[in-house]
Chain A
Amino acid sequence: MLTSILIYIFFLASAPLFIGVVNKLKSRLTGRTGPSLFQPYYDLRRLLRKETIYATSASIISRIAPVIGFVSLLFAGMILPIGFYKPLISFDGDIILFAYLFGLARFFQILGAMDIGSSFEGMGAAREATFAVFAEPIYFFTLGSLAFIFGCTSMYEIFHSISLNNPAFLVFISVASISVFFLMITETSRMPVDDPNTHLELTMIHEVMILDNSGLDLFLYQYTSYLKILIYATFTSNFFNPFNVQNHYLGFSIYIMIIFILIVNLVWIETMMGRFKLKSIPQYLLFAASIGILNILVYSFFNK
């Protein structure tokens, strides 16, 4: 129990570091020196010192939305298994809780964005809501097929009852991780779904929703987004855990390694690809969902 709490605190503390590494690598890859590895920490500290200003047309929603988002993601992080350590919250059916904690955070972010009354945020909120519709099935089909095969519905149980003696499972899992990678890219608004660097109206989905927030609110939103990407990266890395190994320390170092490989992947994709046309993003997401559907079809019949 104590180790789980320690690991969780480490997890929370290293969320900005993840983004720091991603930004640094991206700049290196494009020939720049780039910001320091700890730049997100400095940004967060700067934001804490600023004053929080609310628009005159804002209501109570604008005050509570960032907090709700932050807290839901904190809880979602507690459900996630990191390496081999048992997560803080683990019960049957927590995969659904995980999905809907994210849903709650997203819902309040959208509400908060629309609350301000500017059309910019409304546009971002609309796009966010649309893509969320297509992104939900990915999660449910992928994790649902896993739950179906292994017969348990707790995330920790699922990822720890996979045994890799059947090579078919190996392929299945690597293929499922592609879906989840797509999901990660969509939910955290990286390329090719959204460009985190430009702040042009054409390309904004997430950054536009927080345009009018400042100070503590912006701190909470930024930290939430860092946490979100780390949570998704950890979730993806769970697909690759060598499940036969039971040593905790080995599991943890493998976790770090896989996270790093994911960072490299992410950076490579961000640098190499341009952004998709907005109208082809649903199709991109449907492709990821259909991989999940295919897995369900195959393995549900295969395991009878």
Chain B
Amino acid sequence: MENVLNILFCLTLLYLGTTTRIMAYLNVFVTQGILLFVILILPLFNKFSAYTFILPVMILAVKAVLIPIFIKRKIMLELEVRKSIESDFQQFNFLLLCVFTMITVFVSANMLAKYTLIDSIPFAAAFSTIIIGLYIIIFRKKLIVHVIGFLVMENGIFLLGVSIASEMPFLIELISLLDIFVAVFLMGIAINKISSTFAVDDITGLDELKD
């Protein structure tokens, strides 16, 4: 069942490669949060203790509710963001790049699974999420999209942690979640300030500090 969720995760990534609307990016992020929640809940069906439920619920709360609400309210409504037009990078090539990346990651994960003990599908899904999050940061121009790309990358890292089944203490995961939330908070404030100062909300204005 876990494999199914990981495949759905990869599908959301492909959708990220296709769409051009910023709201769609946000919706994909919410979907990924919900998928992560389900992935975390699955092994807990036998042991129902309040303690182990804290982390999944927190993840759902932060990733699927708090951060999207924050981004929607603070950024979309305050700025005059054109929600549909997104960037002028070739969309088709981006999707092609994403597909090639996924192929590479899956093949190499499979080769790795022969020599070391990892499950290939969750590892590959997580790693391709990280790389596609990185692509979003590299190839897009709007700052909000950079932030969402960063969040997708963090989702991928979290998925990697879950798939490796490491005994990362819940406290650390929780605090890192909080860290990310505060980081996004700061980034959101910075984006607002950048939009009002530079009068444009993509990275074309951020090139004064160079030699």
Direct contact of A and B (CB under 8 A): yes
Given contacts A290-B99, A293-B103, contact A298 B18 (CB under 8 A): no
Min CB–CB distance A74 → chain B (angstroms): 36
**For residue B95, which residues in chain A have a CB less than 8 angstroms away from its CB?**
283, 286-287, 290
B7–A298 touching, CB < 8 Å: yes
Among B4, B15, B98, B102, which residue has its beta carbon within 8 angstroms of that of A171? B4
- Interface-central residue, A280, A297, A301, by most chain B CB under 10 Å: A297
Chain B residues near A282: list those with CB within 8 A.
Answer: 92
User: Total A-B residue pairs with C-beta atoms closer than 8 Å?
Assistant: 62
Q: How far is the CA of A294 from the CA of B99 in the complex (A)?
A: 8
B110 at interface by CB-CB < 8 Å: yes
Q: Is the CB of B121 within 8 A of A301?
A: yes
Task: State the Cβ distance, A295 to closest chain B Cβ, in Å.
Answer: 8
CB pair B91–A280 under 8 Å, yes or no, is yes
Q: Are A301 and B110 in contact (CB under 8 A)?
A: yes
Contacts of B121 in A (CB 8 A): 298, 301-302
Given A167-B1, A286-B92, A302-B3, A297 and B106 touching (CB < 8 A)? yes
Q: Write out the residue numbers on chain B whose beta carbons fall within 8 Å of the beta carbon of A297.
A: 102-103, 106-107, 124
A168 to B120, Cβ gap below 8 A? no
For window 223-278 of A, CB contacts with B under 8 Å fall at none
The verdict on B96 contacting chain A, using a C-beta distance below 8 Å, is yes
Which of A167, A168, A294 has the most B CB atoms < 10 Å from its CB? A294
A171–B5 Cα distance when bound, in Å, is: 9
In the complex formed, the residue of A with least CB distance to B3 is A168
A17 lies within 8 A of chain B by Cβ: no
Task: Report chain B residues within 8 Å CB of A148.
Answer: none
B72–chain A nearest beta-carbon distance, Å:
24
**A287→B107 CA distance, assembly (Å):** 20
Q: Is the beta-carbon distance between B110 and A294 smaller than 8 angstroms? A: no
* Chain B residues closer than 8 Å to A175, beta-carbon distance: 7, 11
Q: Are A171 and B7 in contact (CB under 8 A)?
A: yes
Number of interface residues, chain B, beta carbon within 8 A: 25
Residues from chain B with a CB closer than 8 A to the CB of A294 are 7, 10-11, 14, 102
Decide yes or no whether B8 CB sits under 8 A from chain A: yes
Given the complex of chains A and B, what is the CA–CA distance between A293 and B106 in angstroms?
Answer: 11
**Centre residue among B7, B10, B18, B96 by max chain A CB count within 10 A:** B7
A172 to B121, CA, bound (A): 14
Of B3, B4, B15, B96, which one neighbours A286 at CB under 8 angstroms? Answer: B96
When each residue 115-127 of chain B gets 1 if its CB lies under 8 Å from chain A and 0 otherwise, what string results?
Answer: 0000011001000
Q: Tell me, in angstroms, the Cα distance from A294 to B1 when the chains sit together.
A: 17
Identify the interface centre among A282, A283, A290: most chain B CB within 10 Å of its CB: A290
Bound together, the chains give a CA A297 to CA B95 distance in angstroms of 16
Determine if A146 is an interface residue (Cβ-Cβ < 8 Å). no
Q: Using A168-B1, A282-B92, A284-B18 as known contacts, say yes or no to A298 and B11 having CB atoms under 8 A apart.
A: no
Q: Complex: how many Å from CA A284 to CA B96?
A: 12
Interface residues of A in 87-112 (CB under 8 A from B): none
CA–CA, A284 and B20, complex, Å: 12
Given A284-B18, A294-B102, A297-B106, 14 new contacts (CB under 8 A): A172-B4, A280-B91, A283-B18, A283-B95, A286-B92, A286-B96, A287-B17, A291-B14, A293-B102, A298-B3, A298-B106, A301-B120, A301-B121, A302-B121
Q: List 6 A-B contacts (CB under 8 A).
A: A172-B4, A175-B11, A286-B96, A287-B17, A290-B14, A297-B124
A residues neighboring B (CB under 8 Å):
167-168, 171-172, 175, 280, 282-284, 286-287, 290-291, 293-295, 297-298, 301-302
In the A-B complex, the 6 residue pairs with the closest CB atoms? A297-B106, A171-B4, A290-B99, A287-B18, A301-B110, A283-B92
